[in-house]
Structure 1
Amino acid sequence: MANTPYPQSYYAASANAVPPRPVLQGEVETDVCVIGAGYTGLSSALFLLENGFRVTVLEAAKVGFGASGRNGGQIVNSYSRDIDVIERSVGPKQAQLLGDMAFEGGRIIRERVAKYQIQCDLKDGGVFAALNSKHMGHLESQKRLWERYGHTQLELLDERRIREVVACDNYVGGLLDMSGGHIHPLNLALGEAAAVESLGGTIYEQSAAVRIERGANPVVHTTEGKVRAKFIIVAGNAYLGNLVPELAAKSMPCGTQVITTAPLGDELAQSLLPQDYCVEDCNYLLDYYRLTRDKRLIFGGGVVYGARDPANIEAIIRPKMLKAFPQLKDVKIDYAWTGNFLLTLSRLPQVGRLGDNIYYSQGCSGHGVTYTHLAGKVLAEALRGQAERFDAFADLPHYPFPGGQLLRTPFAAMGAWYYGLRDKLGF
């Protein structure tokens, strides 16, 4: 029997203790079978359990094994394509619904942490850092856009103010979002899994779904068992494989790389980020970083299209870290890992239904921490017969990558090269 462990990340090394979870053996019946114990699946399960559904979750490896337990740990509002892009491509009613939901995911995270007493090092405050005047103009427009949708916890930072929140000389200004913030992402997932089980839900680990038997009463098969359900929620994202072929054509797994320093000590850590905010820059191929509870710096960036694991992650990311913080040149890197996220051509999430009883959400395109928590609520609403918000996502247009699966990776890499050049040249 396969036993897939967590990657050797800082998050896995510092994870809260959890009890072992069983492998599915034999046959079980449930109202909803959720495929995937990441944020989308766990959020869906929690909302469904809170509304009286019986829920069984199947996880191919361990809770939070994928992007949910490997990401930069930043609570970032809105979507990978912002509300203004949505406004230009859909009608006003759909845009209003999606805009109203753009800041809900972060609130859901905080509600879950408070309600279920999840220990995940939650900190408030996230900074978007501008590297040039074009970036700054974009942040000014973003502030006006977000405030139009009622999001007011925002402060523009001039060159003096951004020096007060991050000790990096590369920035000309920024935007502080106090409803943003950061968490230990794997501990958030583990806490949500414990909440699922506290409400009577069941989570099976090392129990990959290998086949879905569709029909009026669908069945999800694993190598050693099966789950009969009224509904299925497919929440595998970049780790779904080809379980549902219809979902593979319009998305592409991509890898992002993260490193974590040795503990910096209180003085050095505070000198880098005095208010303990998380930071991401405004480049298309952006860098992001934050401090951990034990005063390490987590620094991420870079994209590998097609989700290959680079041979030397530290060699890719350490120069980026030193460009921001040359004062860390002698600091040791203790952890380096990669994780996959799912990219769509539109960079907007794909939400929908296959037949009458198989629901899915995928393709967060790098903006998954908040969106996935919203997605769980929206999927649960749809199963309860309240589909207006679900339909607002499901009606977004999506297209296959040019050239199909064979050429989608080189085409995307070419596009990334172009935007990377634009980042370097500042236009």
Structure 2
Amino acid sequence: MAGIQLSVNWAVAQAAEALAASSNRAERDAGCSLRCCEAVGLDRLPEGKRETDTQGVRVALRFYCEADRATVGTARKEVALAIGQAMGLWRGAVQLDLKQLKDKTPQDKMEDLDQDNGTWLGLIRPYQRGGTGLRLDRYLTAEVLEALEAKSGNSAWRTLAKRPAEVRILLRRLRYRLGQDFGAEGAQLNYAFWTTATTERWASQENHLLNYLVHTLSHWSTVLEGGNADPASSLDVGYWGEVDTERDQLSLRQMTTKSGSTALDVVRGVLDHAGAQIHHGDPILVSSNTATNTTDPLLAFVSRLERVLYRPERLSGVDVLLIHRGGGVNPTPEDPRWTPTNVSDLRRREFLDLCLAVRDLGVEVVVALAHANVSVLDWDDRKEVHMPLGIFEATTPTAGAAWILQEHINTRRVDSGLIYSQSRAT
């Protein structure tokens, strides 16, 4: 039973992500709702009970929310097809059994699928989602931080209380869902979480333990309720589990030059592949001129960042700041006007410090000002020194936008041939 259960859940998860990436709104809605159900069984019906034009392979799905069940029901054929394709079956093989989970007592026994509305693998399930469809950083409230501060005898609690900006960035990137720990004493609440390789590297280099962050947050948040946390690294990062990525949009702002309308349009064109999953704030425009572009191309961006940080409330609610300009640093080393001092080490350091100040507001910063192998940040990957947590430098504005899609939305929306990361400082 357990092996079949896991296999069907995998197929349902694959179908959910395929549908969630559809251009059809009804299919996207069904994909999002499909993320929040349990596949409780797989069987094959006899001839007399099969739906027309199917092979009678019945997948039984149970929903915590009636609205989710109804949404999947409106796209029933498309959902059945997507699940069948994930299982490698004929186009018309699958039919669905859709019901809402209902309360049962521990004394209730496993019954036929037609009557089973409350048990899963023979155990009683909690009949609610693991949250309210939001990214985990939304639950790191002032009340939670105050409670952790009062209990700061634990080093992990101090990490959340003293370094909340870093923790918010990490939590924002985590996909999660409520599951069960099937121990000897029965089922206990358990959070499964998964994320990108970048998130894992950032956490590791700053000594953040992701499983402890999730566990501690779920313990102290009244919405999430208590539960252990285990990594589920094998799950596709395009699958967001409990998170409704259209309801809880990624809030993004761009900082670019006033004359960079072409680059702005190109970047927006890439980001629009995310649809309603990204909320675009007004761009922050930077003034520059030919003289400074030649002698000190970072000056205009340093000055603009300083002004923004003078009133940090301007970045309130922003998740990611994308700093970019078209054409790269001007001039580049191939230009006869170029000198090594037009992007000095001192200016790189100053610019990185300002990016870190933005990061310390809980805002992730993606920099795409340079081009090819010309970096504008003070780092050197030849010495295996990674960029700080929450900071990323891309090769071009297009690569920066695509990297945001890869990390925060779904890898299916990205051109896999792009090279995102800046290679080295020169």
Question: Do they fold alike, i.e. is TM over 0.5?
Answer: no
TM-score, with structure 2 as normaliser: 0.22
TM-score, with structure 1 as normaliser: 0.22
Identify the structure with the greater strand proportion.
1
Which one has a bigger Cα radius of gyration?
A: 2
Higher relative contact order (CA 8 A, sep 6+): 1
